[in-house]
Amino acid sequence: MPSKLKNDRFIKALLRQPVDKTPVWMMRQAGRYLPEYRATREKAGDFVTLCQTPDLACEVTLQPLERYPLDAAILFSDILTIPDAMGLGLKLIESVGPKFDNPISSLADIKNLPMPDPEEDLGYVMDAVRLIRKELDGSVPLIGFAGSPWTLATYMIEGGSSKDFGKIKKMLYQEPDSLHLLLSHVAKAVSQYLNAQINAGAQAIQIFDTWGGVLSTPAYHEFSLAYMKQILDELQREHDGEKIPVILFTKGASGWIEDIANTGCDAVGLDWMQEIGQVRSKIGYRVALQGNMDPAILKSNPEVIRNEVASILESYGEGSGHVFNLGHGITPDIDPENAGAFINAVHELSKQYHTK
Ligand code: CP3
């Protein structure tokens, strides 16, 4: 069936089909580096209300697309909507980060966790997806997302961001069965949530495993990768006759890329710690690769940014299967002009790699 998208470069690259230039989007592309985002957040009152108000979530999703020729939109929301819907009470505290009023501290807490109904309890997310699809009107695809069970569990047990992950690691080594119970509950909730996003109109999915890299290799396999695999097995991989590509992104996964590529995902998201060309030669064409410029390079200037884009494109080499992105989210201190220079450099410099 022919694609209804006006720009389907992102989906094609994920499926390793030919493209005219390398598609690009940025993790956290809707965010505080944009003055218009800060103005909308002000209007909402606070971050959680912004996420929960579909009109405003739609507005901030579209803001970066009005400025830049991005090849995909990403739903504006947060990975912590699921634990919030399980009753943990999410707040975002300025210059501290996310906090839960009721973190998990015992096996009894885990056993009492409800299973959120995506349309009932997270209907505001599905409403935002439907509204964004309507507003995009087929211009570019919409990415839906969720956190990995491991990454969500870190916030649920630590109660917020953490430096050493002391509480969850104590549970992992001392009470592994309790942690498995939590992870399988969260994995089920994530699968249902992502399937609801797909039914509402999300055209690709990314799973963010921000904290998988703090685990040992065996612990990563047992407590993070296994649950992402469970989600992949439970996801609806087609909707309305179109494939729904899935990207797995684990930050700090340099040693595990082959294992991630073997889960059945369509693409692996890379942080900036490894060279994309080396990863490509190691894993071949099993999956597409997404990444992987160090977001800190956006602090420099358009010339430095352009050179770095050129060297990543050269490292990946000829052909499709590459979605350009940063190796992690864009930070609030970035000059929007530099983000524009990054996106334009990808489009201009990548054409020569797609001539066949
Ligand atoms: O990419 C996008 O534009 C979509 C929006 C998006 C947000 N969070 C908005 C947000 C996405 C995909 C996320 C995912 C997310 N949330 C992750 C995984 C990705 C990553 O960055 O590793 C994580 C770990 C979270 C949890 C979270 N939410 C943290 C740790 C914080 C505070 C840190 C920070 O950047 O301030 C948030 C808040 C948050 N989520 C903001 C945004 C735009 C900043 C909120 C604000 O002050 O306006």
* Measured distance CA(10)–CA(16) in Å, rounded: 10
From the candidates 46, 67, 78, 259, give the one annotated as an active-site residue.
78
Residue 163 lies in a domain: yes
Q: For position 85, which CATH number holds?
A: 3.20.20.210
pLDDT digits (tens, 9 = 90+) for 199-242: 999 999 999 999 999 999 999 999 999 999 999 999 999 999 99
Please identify, by atom number, the ligand 1 atom nearest to the C-alpha of residue 30.
Answer: 3
Residue 181 lies in a domain: yes
* Measured distance CA(305)–CA(212) in Å, rounded: 28
| Structure tokens that stand for 299 in this block | 């602090």
Minimal-distance CA residue to ligand 1 atom 45: 47
Residue 78 lies in a domain: yes
Residue 343 lies in a domain: no
Count Cβ atoms within 10 A of the Cβ of residue 13 and give its class: 0-12 exposed, 13-18 middle, 19 or more buried: buried
Residue 286 lies in a domain: no
Residue 300 lies in a domain: no
Report pLDDT for 81. Answer: 98
Residue 245 lies in a domain: no
Q: How much is the mean pLDDT over the chain?
A: 97
| pLDDT surpassing 70 at residue 1 | no
Q: C-alpha angle 155/249/239, rounded to 5°?
A: 105
From the candidates 8, 9, 16, 28, give the one annotated as an active-site residue.
28
Structural domain count, the chain: 1
CB 206 within 8 A of CB 291: no
Predicted confidence band at 293 (pLDDT cuts at 50, 70, 90)?
Answer: very high
Residue 131 lies in a domain: yes
Q: In 3D, which of 210, 76, 47 has the Cα closest to residue 142?
A: 76
Say how many Å lie between the CA of residue 125 and the centre of ligand 1. Answer: 15
Say how many Å lie between the CA of residue 237 and the centre of ligand 1. Answer: 26
Residue ranges lining ligand 1, Cβ < 6 Å: 27-32, 41, 47, 74, 76, 78-80, 92, 97-98, 145, 161, 208, 210, 329
Predicted confidence band at 2 (pLDDT cuts at 50, 70, 90)?
Answer: very low
CB 244 within 8 A of CB 285: no
Under DSSP, the state recorded for 224 is I
Range of the domain at 191: 45-67+72-236
